[in-house]
Amino acid sequence: MTIQLGQTAPDFEQDSSEGRISFHEWLGNSWGVLFSHPKDYTPVCTTELAEVARLKPEWDKRGVKPIGLSVDTGERHAGWAADIKETQGQTLNFPVLADHDRKVSDLYGMVHPEADPSVTVRSVFIVDPNKKVRLILTYPPSTGRNFDEILRVIDSLQLTDAHKVATPVNWRDGEQVIIVPSLSDEEAHKRFPKGFKTLKPYLRMVDQPKLPHAGG
């Protein structure tokens, strides 16, 4: 199955390190990050899972639930979790799907036969509270993911959902943003009363509105 941006994330039921999970029900009204691992007891994944656990305050602040996946059983997950705590100093605090029958992996296209038919690639899916897929990333098994970038994308998505703006190249929270072309100058002046800078009719820069989770 090929999943595209804007589609509804396929629902599923699968075992996990925290019991049986029905994906849409588990997400509720939260954003979600579903990310896969080639298999348990692999070195790059060990560092990634620890980092996702370490970032719990950042996920919570943004209303995001992370969920991992590996094509191994729950019993192997438990042993791997102990290794992660021993080597990385971090206890897992989110579920890891035990996709031993590859039901979810196949549903989300996480197995690329020409890469290695026995393992999943490093897939990332960001899902919004409406269960729509908003980002898809695929890494080779040898390359660890940059979760700072995933947080940055979530900030951009939440900001641009709340305001009529887009984020420019390498944008970080607090930097100027772009007013979307569909907003007229008249509407832009009403929405951004402090003003904006027109570089070209299609390129108007404005100070960033506050992120939804920033409050105020």
Catalytic residue numbers?
45
Q: Return the ∠ at Cα 213 (arms to 210 and 215), rounded to 5°.
A: 60
Q: Among candidates 119, 40, 120, which has minimal Cα distance to 81?
A: 40
Q: Give the integer Cα–Cα distance in Å for 110 and 104.
A: 8
The pair of structure tokens assigned to 12 is 């599923």
Confirm if 212 and 159 have CB atoms less than 8 A apart: yes
Cα distances (Å, whole numbers) of residue 58 to 52, 53, 55, 148, 183: 10, 10, 5, 10, 32
Q: Which residues of 9-22 are buried (b: 16+ CB within 10 A; e: fewer)?
A: bbeeebbbbbeebe
